[in-house]
Amino acid sequence: MDKVKIGVLGAGAISGIYFENLTKLFREVEVAAVCDYVGDKAVKAQEEYKIPKVYDTMEELFQDPDIEIILNLTRPNEHYKTTKSALMAGKNVYSEKPLATTYEEGKELKNLAEEKGLLLGGAPDTFLGASIQTCRKLIDDGFIGETIGAAASMVCHGHESWHPAPEFYYQYGGGPMMDMGPYYITALVNLMGGVTGINGMCGKSFDQRVITSEPQKGSVIDVEVPTHTAGMLRFENGAIGTILTTFDVHYDRQASLEIYGTKGTLRVSDPNYFGGSIYLLRPEDEGFKEMPLLFDYKENSRGVGVADMAKALREKRTFRTEVQQTLHVLEILTAFEKSSDEGRYITMESSCSRGVAMKNNPVSGILD
């Protein structure tokens, strides 16, 4: 098929792996333009990845008639405004997570995309990697029986010890649930199905954080968002899950995700990654056994969701990271704080059916 031309909005820290994969791994797309409000970043990306065009403003990028998909890599609290502007300009949009900072904003974007007949979707796409797709096959093939529960946790002491610009993690739109929660919730939705309701409790252990990473070492951040969230989820199939996300805890490992079934337990790899070891426990075994990965994309394959969207655009089919999923995940993420503030169980307004499972293609970088 003719390559789908992509315009990248934002050339910050996360952009490097997207540029790498979209210019070298995924064969049915072309990065045709880049834009960043810090012009030097865009020029650097252009030179390193041989991108044909650089734009000074997003409005100029959105007016380029050759661009078919805008890859929105702006900061989380900018996603709503920038995605809306791209949709208004008639562009399909793939956004980094989350879709927006509120469910109401996300719903507005979904409605706008549908009104204009445009594709809208976004990250994370790690669930399309080898590990979680293998877990999905094990569940679908009955290895753990009927799913009855899940437990997820993301435990760390924040990003100010390593990130060069960690402020936004503690500002509106940030926090551990909005930042890291999308990986866990998206994985759970793809493994177990949609969520019908949640309970949540949120807290903030530190009013300020001291940056210990360069170049802002010693600077103080005011914390504006919850940094410790515990929640419970009821899935459409009746299963019950728990999740903990925190930037407040010292611990020896960050990620944990387990799926419980009537015939066994599945220990999923870190959903922030595409690969990683997975383990299955059944009562006839003496303990957890490592399972082989059955699918492609074991390495950092960010951009596979964009490539799938591009293929869907050409073939006029649904794609695996579409807005039905990203909006449902956004509602879940934001409902924990709503539940905590209002002291009540929150029933989901949105719903989400699991998308099509991945298929192995003989040629890596070409989607089925």
What pLDDT digit, counting tens, does each position of 128-153 carry?
999 999 999 999 999 999 999 999 99
Instruction: Grade residue 39 by pLDDT with cuts at 50, 70 and 90.
Output: confident
* pLDDT level of residue 346 (50, 70, 90 thresholds): very high
Distance CA 5, CA 166 (A): 32
15 vs 361, more confident = 15
Going 362 to 363 to 364 to 368, the CA torsion angle's sign is negative
Nearest to 271 by CA among 255, 286, 284: 255
Strands (DSSP E) contained in the chain are: 4-9, 29-35, 53-55, 69-72, 92-95, 120-122, 147-155, 195-203, 208-210, 220-222, 228-235, 240-246, 255-261, 265-268, 278-281, 289-291, 346-347
Residue 1 has pLDDT above 80, yes or no: no
Distance CA 229, CA 226 (A): 7
What confidence category does residue 362 fall into, taking pLDDT thresholds of 50, 70 and 90?
confident
Length, in residues, of the chain: 368
Indicate whether 330 pLDDT > 80.
yes
Please give the structure tokens belonging to residue 184.
């866990």
Residue 72: alpha-carbon gap to chain centroid:
13
Query: What CA–CA distance (Å, rounded) separates 183 from 201?
Result: 20
pLDDT digit string, tens, across residues 53-83? 999 999 999 999 999 999 999 999 999 999 9
Q: Is 114 exposed, middle or buried (0-12, 13-18, 19+ CB in 10 A)?
A: exposed
Which residues make beta-bridge pairs with 240? 149, 234
Q: Find the mean pLDDT for residues 314-326.
A: 96
Question: Residue 165 has what pLDDT?
Answer: 87
Q: In the predicted model, is pLDDT for residue 104 greater than 80?
A: yes
Read off the pTM.
0.96
In percent, the amount of the chain with pLDDT more than 90 equals 95
What pLDDT digit, counting tens, does each position of 89-100 carry?
Answer: 999 999 999 999
Measured CA to CA in angstroms, residue 324 lies from 47, 110, 186, 199, 352 at distances of: 36, 8, 12, 22, 6
Cross-strand pairs, 94:
71, 121
Q: In the predicted model, what is the mean pLDDT of residues 335-350?
A: 98
Q: Region 201-223: what's the mean pLDDT?
A: 95
DSSP summary character for residue 98: P
pLDDT at residue 25, rounded to an integer:
97
Residue 13: band (very low, low, confident or very high) from pLDDT cuts 50, 70, 90: confident
Mean residue pLDDT of the chain comes to 96
